[in-house]
Amino acid sequence: MILITLISSILVASVSILQFRNESHEYHQELLQRKENQIKEHINYVLATTPHPLITRNIASIFRLKIFEIANIHNLEINLYDLNGRLLLSSRAPQIDGQISPLIPENILQNIKISTDKRFVTLAEKQGNNYRFSYSYLMDYVEKKPIGIIKLPYKEDDTFYKNELESFLYIFSIVYFAMLIISIFLAYYLSRFITKSLETISDRLTETSLTEKNEKIELESNSYEIDRLVKSYNKMIDELEESANKLAQSEREEAWREMAKQVAHEIKNPLTPMRLTVQSFQRKFDPTDPQVNQKLDDYSKTLIQQIDTMSAVASAFSNFASMPAQQNETLDVVHVVDLALDIFNEDFIEFKPATEEIITKIDRTQLIRIITNLVKNAIQAIPEEQKEKRIQVLVKKASNHAIITVKDNGKGIKREDFDRIFEPKFTTKTSGMGLGLAIIKNIIENYNGTITFDSQKGKGTTFVVSLPIINK
C-alpha cells in the first residue's frame, strides 16, 4: 500500500509537470499566432492607406515611421526583409546576438516557400531563455503576391506557469504526504489484522508435535483464505493424531516383539546346558558309584545355576516392562548413596561427598538402584587383570540439583557405541540383557533429571546424574 502510494504520487507529479509544460508550450504558440495576426492586420492597414506602390523596394519608405508605432502598440519587435532574406527595416528592439540576423538563412527561406500557410517558426535558446522566431510573407493585398518577409522574435515568459507549477507541487506534496502517513497507518493496522490470524496459525504450527497432544485452532476471521487454512490445519491435526496413534501402536508392538525375541534367546541359552546336563546324568548315572552323591550335588548345582540365570532374565524383563510406582520420601541423598555403596566389598571404591547433606524427596529404592547399577557397571568395566583399579563416587549440590558422578578407570566405551549406550538390550558385556542403563535412565527422566556420560577408550568412563531437588 505504501509502495503504491509512493508510485502513484510520483506518476501524478510527473504527469502534472508534463501537462504544465504542454500547456505552456501551447499558450506561447497561440499567443505568438495571435500577435502575428494582429501585427499583419495593422501592416495591411498601412499598406492599404499608403500612396506608394506596393513593391519590395518601397517597404522601407512605407514603414520607416510606422514600424515603431506598430512595435510599441503590440509590444513586439518587428523586422522586415526582402524576398532574398536581406534586412530592410527593424523596429530596433534591444538586440541579442544571434537573435536577429541581417540575413535570413536559405533553409528558412525554402521552408517558408514550401509551407502551406507561407509561415515558418523556429525555436532557439539563449542564456536560459526560450525564443520563437516567426517568419511569414508580407503580401500585396491587391495582387495577392509576396513583396517581403516579416520576422517576429518572441521571448517565452514562463514565470506564470512556473509559479502555478510550484504552487501546485507544494499543495500536492502536502496532500500526498498526508496520504502517505494515512497509508502507513492503514497498512500497519491492516497487516496486523491480517497477520494476527497468521501468527496464531504459525505459533500452533511451531508447537505441533508428533508425540504430544496438539490443540486445534479455534479462530473466527472474515477471510475465506484464512478460514480454509485453519480448517486444513485442524484436519491435519486429526490425521496427525491418528497417524501418531498408529505409529505408537506399531512401535509398541515392534518393541515387544523385539523384547520377546531377546527374552526367548536369553532363556534358551541356559536351557541347552540344562538339557545336556540331564542327558549326561541320565546316561552315566550309576547308583552303585561311590561318588554318586558328589555327582548328584554337581548336577543339582548346575541346574540351579541355570535356573537362577533364567530367573534373572525374567526379573530384568519384568522390571523394564513395568516400573514400580514411586514412593517419594524426604531423605538425605548423601546418606543414601553411602548406604548403597556398603553392599560392595571392593576396596577400590572411593566415596567423596562435597557436602554433608542434600535433602530432597525421592524414592529411596529407585535412588539405590541408580547407584548400584552405575557402580556395578563401573566394576564390570575394569578388567580383572588390571593392576590399578579405581572407582570414584562424587556427590555435590549445584543450582538446586543433586549431582552424582560415578567415575572409573576401566576399558572405556567405543566412540561408535555412544549413541546406543542407553538403548534397551544393548550391552558391551558378554553377559546380561543390557536393560540396566535403560531402566535407570527411565527412573531419572521420571524425576525430570538427566544422565550423561563421557568416555575415553582405555582410560575409563564417567557417568553424571543430575536430579532436581524437590522440597515439597
Tell me which of 291, 321, 351 is where a domain ends.
321
User: Do 146 and 112 sit in the same domain of this protein?
Assistant: yes
* Number of domain units in the chain: 3
User: Do 274 and 398 sit in the same domain of this protein?
Assistant: no
Long-range contacts of 19-22 (CB under 8 A, 24+ apart): 20/161, 20/164, 20/165, 20/168
At residue 6, φ and ψ (nearest 5 deg) are: -65, -45
pLDDT score of 234: 82
326's grid cell: 514411586
Report the alpha-carbon distance of residue 223 to residue 246 in Å, rounded. Answer: 35
C-alpha distance from residue 466 to each of 22, 51, 377, 400 (Å)? 85, 129, 18, 10
pLDDT score of 67: 86
Neighbouring CB atoms inside 10 A of 131's CB total 16
| Residue 390 domain flag | yes
Tell me which of 142, 163, 184 is where a domain ends.
163
User: Do 281 and 346 sit in the same domain of this protein?
Assistant: no
C-alpha distance from residue 270 to each of 116, 260, 266, 310, 322 (Å)? 126, 16, 7, 7, 25
Give the chain's largest Cα–Cα span.
183
Q: What angle do CA 174, 177, 180 make, to 5 degrees?
A: 155
| Residue 204 domain flag | no
Residue 365, domain extent: 328-468
Report the alpha-carbon distance of residue 459 to residue 409 in Å, rounded. Answer: 5
For residue 437, count CB atoms less than 10 angstroms from its CB and return exposed for 0-12, middle for 13-18, buried for 19 or more. Answer: buried
Question: Is the Cβ–Cβ distance between 270 and 295 less than 8 Å?
Answer: no
Strands of the sheet containing 460-468, edge to edge, are: 349-353, 391-398, 401-408, 460-468, 450-456
> Residues of the chain whose pLDDT is less than 50?
94-100, 430
| Residue 341 domain flag | yes
Cell 561427598 identifies what position? 353
pLDDT score of 98: 46
* Total-model pTM: 0.38
Tell me which of 274, 291, 321 is where a domain ends.
321
Instruction: Name the residue type at position 157.
Output: D
Report the alpha-carbon distance of residue 304 to residue 436 in Å, rounded. Answer: 24
| Residue 206 domain flag | no
For residue 57, how many C-alpha atoms fall within 13 Å in the half-sphere facing its CB?
Answer: 0
Domain CATH for 411:
3.30.565.10
66's grid cell: 510606422
Report the alpha-carbon distance of residue 447 to residue 363 in Å, rounded. Answer: 10
| Residue 247 domain flag | yes
pLDDT score of 259: 66
| Residue 170 domain flag | no
User: Do 156 and 114 sit in the same domain of this protein?
Assistant: yes
User: Do 375 and 409 sit in the same domain of this protein?
Assistant: yes
Report the alpha-carbon distance of residue 245 to residue 240 in Å, rounded. Answer: 8
pLDDT score of 278: 75
Report the alpha-carbon distance of residue 397 to residue 73 in Å, rounded. Answer: 111
User: Do 249 and 339 sit in the same domain of this protein?
Assistant: no
User: Do 155 and 280 sit in the same domain of this protein?
Assistant: no
Question: Is the Cβ–Cβ distance between 89 and 99 less than 8 Å?
Answer: no
Q: What angle do CA 368, 371, 374 make, to 5 degrees?
A: 145
User: Do 427 and 464 sit in the same domain of this protein?
Assistant: yes
User: Do 279 and 299 sit in the same domain of this protein?
Assistant: yes
Domain CATH for 73:
3.30.450.20
| Residue 252 domain flag | yes
| Residue 174 domain flag | no
User: Do 418 and 307 sit in the same domain of this protein?
Assistant: no
User: Do 312 and 433 sit in the same domain of this protein?
Assistant: no
DSSP state of 317: H
Which residues, other chains included, contact 420 with Cβ-Cβ below 8 Å and sequence gap of 6+?
Answer: 426
pLDDT score of 269: 60
Selection from 435, 424, 420, 320 nearest residue 373 by Cα: 435
Question: Is the Cβ–Cβ distance between 340 and 371 less than 8 Å?
Answer: yes
pLDDT score of 397: 92
- What's the chain's length in residues? 472
- The radius of gyration computed from the CA coordinates of the chain, to the nearest angstrom, equals 56
User: Do 339 and 417 sit in the same domain of this protein?
Assistant: yes
